[in-house]
Amino acid sequence: MSDLASHDPKTATEIASHVEEPSQAELHIHRRNAFSALGWARDNLFSNIPNTILTVLSVTVLVWTVPPLLDWLLLKATFLGADPQACRDAGGACWSFIEVKHRFILFGLYPYDEHWRPLLAMGLFIAALAASCDPRLWNVKILYVWGLVLPVCGVLMWGGWLGLTFVPNDKWGGLPLTLILATLGIVLAFPLAVLLALGRRSDMPAIRAICIGYIETVRGVPLVSVLFMASIMFPLFLPEGLTIDKLLRAQLGIMLFTAAYLAEAVRGGLQALPKGQYEAADALGLGYWQKTRLIILPQALRLVIPPIVNQFISCFKDTSLVIIIGLYDLLTTAKTALADPLWRPFYIESYVFAAFIYFLFCYFMSRYSQYLERRLNAGTRR
């Protein structure tokens, strides 16, 4: 600024005129907007006859659905402190159902007085997840963060230490359980997925056959059947006397299932690498594992981060299937909350509440995956 002033004596008036100008331009834009609102409507809503018909149809649908929906959601709805009878009399949404049941829906059978523990664990966990989403933090530090957060979460959830009462994991439920199943499902599946993807592209026929067999078999069957296998067959696989609990079995099932899908995403990245990278690594005389660890995987995995995030979204949604083997995840608790005869009619509120939570997580992740795609492509775009 001072530089400018020293060079030019007329800066003050210049600046004044510069200050003046935008406000005039703004006025102009405002004036144009008044016309362009109509112009915009003509361009985007009524450009020709079919378009006009479509607009009229859409508006009809909106008029037909939105007012009753708003009426139900807000105007006729009952909020805090209403009892079931008041809800029924009002005829709208019964949000006091959520007020009464939200702790059960969010935390399941976890002891009521200890709910702050899963809440705190979840908060830490989500904060760590959010931090991991920032590409600037993709280095060793983020591993330290997780190395600290995970044990703390474990202590908070299980307890039995530092004066916290012990809560066995068959009492866990609700959103923390959904988050645990989805995150561990992806994280544990990841190393297996990388090995399967490398195996599928290996020159060794026996190894390739085993990997293809595993991937195609798991991808060909529904997750429900994998969960059945985990809940009914795993106990038969183990030697007499050794049992694993239900949660761990479901987690293993989800992990084995996710690994097959994740392996295909990783394979996509391996195939997308230019052949020259493999050849250059060979020319340097690197061995297979050196080549893979230092040259191939770092580049291939970078390419497939968006599909991995997408896989995380499906894994997050798919954990809801554990309702079928009787685990108390978010969907199960939302459904179980309806078993209370007093509040039985308010199924829509319960499902909308659960759906909203799932939606928030999935929508954020899908936006994040789109952002990553743009960011990772920034270097290669022409």
Q: Note whether 236 binds other proteins by CB under 8 A.
A: yes
Minimum distance of other proteins from residue 266's CB (angstroms): 17
User: Least distance in Å: CB of 10 to other proteins?
Assistant: 47
Under DSSP, is residue 166 helix (H, G, I), strand (E, B) or coil? coil
Could you say whether residue 272 binds other proteins (CB under 8 A)?
no
The secondary structure of residue 295, as a DSSP letter, is I
d(CA 226, CA 322): 11
Binding to other proteins, residues 307-336 (CB under 8 A): 313, 317-318, 320-321, 323-324, 331, 334-335
Q: Residue 315, exposed/middle/buried by CB under 10 A (0-12, 13-18, 19+)?
A: buried
Distance of CA 201 to the CA centre of its chain: 30
Q: Judged by CB under 8 A, does residue 368 bind other proteins?
A: no
Between CA 156 and CA 135 the distance in angstroms is: 29
User: Footprint of other proteins on residues 162-201 (CB under 8 A)?
Assistant: none
Residue 62 or residue 86: which is nearer to other proteins going by CB?
62
In eight-state DSSP terms, residue 221 is: S
Tokens 């102009």, residue located: 28
Which amino acid does the sequence have at 113? D
- Interactions with other proteins, residue window 12-51 (CB under 8 A): 44-45, 47, 51
Q: In this chain, which of 109, 210, 273, 301 binds other proteins, going by CB under 8 A? A: 210
Closest CA to 257 of 289, 230, 282: 230
SS3 assignment, position 94: strand
Instruction: Rank residues 61 and 130 by Cβ distance to other proteins and give the closer one.
Output: 61
As measured in angstroms, the least distance from the Cβ of 25 to other proteins is 26
For residue 90, give both structure tokens.
């009002």
Quick note: the x/- pattern for other proteins over 58-87, rule CB under 8 A, is xx-xx-------------------------
CB of 232 to other proteins, least distance (A): 4
Nearest to 252 by CA among 294, 214, 223: 223
Q: Quickly tell me which residue has 């006859």 as its tokens.
A: 49
Binding site for other proteins (CB under 8 A): 44-45, 47, 51, 54-55, 58-59, 61-62, 203-207, 210, 217, 219-225, 228-229, 232-233, 235-240, 313, 317-318, 320-321, 323-324, 331, 334-335, 338, 345, 347-348, 351, 354-355, 358-359, 362-363, 366
